[in-house]
Amino acid sequence: MKNTERKLTFAANWKMNHGVAEARAFAEKFLALTSSSDGLKLWFFPPAVSIAALAAALKNRPDITVGAQNVHWEPRGAYTGAISIPMVIEAGARLTLVGHSERRHLFGETDEQVARKTRAALAAGITPLVCVGETLSERDGGRTEQVIVRQIGAVLQALEVEAWREVVLAYEPVWAIGTGKNATPDDAAQIHELIRMELGRSGVSFPVPILYGGSVNAGNVASLLTQPQLDGVLVGGASLDPAGWADVIARGSQAKVRPSGGFDVVES
């Protein structure tokens, strides 16, 4: 399945959780709780050391794709601690997060590095899931739009219009990540619209899928996904437990939205 096909997407970002043994145990439980659905895309971003084990454990599920949380833009070289795109592909990844806010704010990743990684992922044939989002002080200072436009702009500058056919975006307000605070469904929808306008202004006239992230859980996923602007969710904390994550997916897919670009959500 093409990663950019516009189907309702549930993406699990495990961050620095679940090493190999825990990833395998998660997979076993998750497979017992869920069955493959044509209408959904389920993505997992485990820590790099667990990619191979998780991809192997989930390989019989066509709805599931495994990705990396971070990659370097160079294919090899003297970059201690870094992991290249060919390496994560060899391990079984077909996607990579790029510019997650924790990479930007805890590890100092710049807009320019985000753009380079995005270009490198596309050149290597894996789908970049590029994250953007404003901090609390940027939001309080009325600079949300400016920040989003700047972050998207760096990627727009680096890519040909056609390359956007292989890109997926995530809007994750930094103040909502891991804090239990949520953007309201309306707020999220409004920023998704802003991103689409920005892409449109630069000639990207086809729909690029946009996920929403930030304290999404079983209690709020349905109301978020009733917004037609949201193509799915990117979830940290609530994706760590197999039963909890299966519940988020079940509730979210029950919302049965039919987003602006139109995708089919199979009834479960």
Binding pattern for the stretch 161-190 against ligand PGA, x by CB under 6 A and - elsewhere = -----------x----xx------------
Task: Say whether 172 is catalytic.
Answer: yes
Stretch that binds ligand PGA, among 51-59, 70-78, 111-119, 234-242 (CB under 6 A): 234-242
With CA atoms as reference, report the closest residue to 24 among 67, 47, 58, 48: 58
Residues 8-67 interacting with ligand PGA (rule: CB under 6 A): 13
Question: How is residue 63 written in tokens?
Answer: 């709805």
Distant-in-sequence, close-in-space partners of 74: CB < 8 Å, separation ≥ 6: 82, 84, 120
For position 237 contacting ligand PGA by CB under 6 A, the verdict is yes
Q: Do 53 and 24 meet the contact criterion of CB atoms below 8 Å apart? A: yes
Q: Minimum Å distance from CB 235 to ligand PGA?
A: 5
Q: Do 255 and 226 meet the contact criterion of CB atoms below 8 Å apart? A: yes
Task: Say whether 18 is catalytic.
Answer: no
According to DSSP, the residues that pair with 156 across neighbouring strands are none
Q: Minimum Å distance from CB 216 to ligand PGA?
A: 5
Q: What type of residue is 179? A: T
The C-alpha atoms of residue 161 and residue 200 are separated, in whole angstroms, by: 10
* Residue in 93, 120, 210, 235 binding ligand PGA, rule: CB under 6 A: 235
CB-closest chain residue to ligand PGA: 236
Work out whether strand 168-171 and strand 210-213 pair parallel, antiparallel, or are unpaired: parallel
Report how far apart, in Å, the C-alpha atoms of 172 and of each of 28, 46, 110, 133, 189 are: 29, 18, 16, 5, 12
With CA atoms as reference, report the closest residue to 139 among 129, 130, 148, 126: 148
Stretch that binds ligand PGA, among 58-66, 138-146, 208-216, 223-231 (CB under 6 A): 208-216
Q: Minimum Å distance from CB 178 to ligand PGA?
A: 4
Q: Which residue has the tokens 């890109």?
A: 167
For position 83 contacting ligand PGA by CB under 6 A, the verdict is no
Residue in 18, 72, 172, 192 annotated catalytic: 172
For position 211 contacting ligand PGA by CB under 6 A, the verdict is no
Residues 238-267 interacting with ligand PGA (rule: CB under 6 A): 238
CB-nearer residue toward ligand PGA: 57 or 234: 234
Residue ranges binding ligand PGA (CB under 6 A): 13, 172, 177-178, 213-216, 234-238
Positions marked catalytic: 100, 172
